[in-house]
Structure 1
């Protein structure tokens, strides 16, 4: 009997340590918390944009960016109807449906390439395309080599041999939207969280973070989420709402905050060096901005 008590004690202690100290344990803990978290009072189910889906809690005001900016584009990004599921690239429902409060109207290609960093690269690129800033569309591969839409549209293609990349004009020039998405598929294959972290502007102060900025943990694999909305109180304290793509490639969705259900889905980043989300724990992170 005594041995059983000791065994149970160490089993409980071991489980608690696993859930609170390991990245895998924190991910499981976040997923479990998502199931038991009460419905948020800060969700307006009739809202069909990020700005109208998420309510502002008492004492805060929403940051309202200028029109035509990337921040305005993101804050007003269209959403699917409330209750929409997260769907994998193969058309099947994602196994975990308890970690989101909204799904963005971002198509998921059936090729499976549009994963976490890729989905946000797509959104940024589509914004530049829609505002006639196509010459600004370009990203670095993990190798460090820059691949622009302009050169791709002119017919240049990379020849990749490990970290050695050269570009040659081997294709017929094509500036069509269909070819634009072929270009993005190439970027998805050779860019990711590490290359974004190396390429993009670092934002050291939370007060300077804007809608459309990225919270990123670079790695193989890493993860990245985008700031979809920001609120602020009179003391200058800020809260952030995030959305993400994921692996496997799936619907882009607004994530819950299961650590503070009274503020769900708003996150407080002040003083944080790590962040728990429903299905991923950032053991560390940095804030970066698309150029």
Structure 2
């Protein structure tokens, strides 16, 4: 009887192990397929638009030259194969989810995380296009902090959730001071403040370059659309880039779930969307004003 029980136990354990091994093999196979060389890439090209080819049957959606959409689509990339580097110069542990690194410096202070990287991109566009007075963001507390007032010398006095702005510095409209302003925004803003502040996009068919897929929270995450193509049926695909936590190189991501169209993504509202090493459980979208 004892031998029978021992034999039964051995067979049960063996059966359980066989059941466990099979999904692991399938997962590894799927991951390998997702990481196979991509045929939509021009590895020698150094902009988002020129790095990624349009899938068969699609064409790029037109945007006016000088628009934010045109700015993002033509953003400069570093050489193909450039690794994602953390703010402290260490290599990020996950190097298999991107097909390009944007030419954006990563401050050594560790502040420029996921939402901050997109805030920087938007702010630099406004700066470069003589729209400096449009630069401003809400703190997580809901208080608005503009570059214009910061340049005039106003600084926030923060006590709990109470924020007041007092003129405590000399007027300074320099680019160096602009980046000090951005560091302040990085400290007191994030995915939650952006989600609460920015207009929501309820119809995913209205998405365009510059819009963001967001999970507002602590922690949350956010990625930005940086290119857009459409077929004759009106179906669209998008490219995405992201910053991350810890602060690191801003990078153009692969589509690890649908390698047949990677790095392009289909985007819908309210669905699960895996992006590199993060999964948005119920997709929501916002747009800069």
Does TM, scored on the shorter chain, surpass 0.5? yes
1:5 aligns with 2:14: yes
Whether contact under 8 Å (1:34, 1:278) holds in the other structure is no
Q: Give matches, 1:86-101, under 5 Å.
A: 86-101=84-99
> 1:35 & 1:180 partners in 2: Cα distance?
44
What are the residue-to-residue correspondences of 1:1-291 with 2, within 5 Å? 1-5=10-14, 7-8=16-17, 33=31, 37-270=35-268, 273-291=271-289
Q: Deviations over 1:14-49 (max 9, x none)?
A: x88xxxxxxxxxxxx79x837862111001112111
Name 1:23's counterpart in structure 2. none
Which consecutive unaligned segments of at least 5 residues does structure 1 have?
Answer: 17-28
Distance 1:37 1:84, change over 3 A: same
Instruction: Give the root-mean-square deviation of aligned CA atoms.
Output: 1.9
Shift of 1:240: 0.8
Deviates more, 1:61-70 or 1:263-272: 263-272
Deviation at 1:270, TM superposition (A): 3.8
Aligned-pair CA distance for 1:103: 0.6
Change (3 A) 1:257 1:34: farther
1:57-92 Cα distance to aligned partner (Å, 9 max, x none):
110001121011100000000111111111110112
Question: CA 1:45 to 1:10, structure 2 compared with 1: closer, same or farther past 3 Å?
Answer: closer
Unaligned runs of 5+ in 2: 1-9
Secondary structure of the residue aligned to 2:116 is helix
Distance in 2, Cα, partners of 1:100 & 1:125: 24
TM-score (structure 1 length as normaliser): 0.90
Structure 2 distance, partners of 1:153, 1:108, is 23
- Higher alpha-carbon deviation: 197-206 or 137-146: 197-206
Equivalenced residues, count: 277
CA contact (8 A) 2:33 2:259 kept: no
35 and 86 in structure 1: CA distance in 2 versus 1, 3 angstrom threshold: farther
Deviation sequence 1:227-276 (CA, Å, 0-9, x none): 01011000000011100000000000000001111100001124661101
Structure 2 SS opposite 1:123? helix
Structure exhibiting the larger radius of gyration computed from Cα positions: 2
For residues 199 and 158 of structure 1, the distance between their equivalents in structure 2, rounded to whole angstroms, comes to 19
Per-residue Cα deviation, 1:146-187 (whole angstroms, up to 9, x for no partner): 000000001110011121111111111111000000000000
Q: Alpha-carbon deviation of 1:278?
A: 2.0
CA distance in 1: counterparts of 2:286 and 2:42, whole angstroms = 29
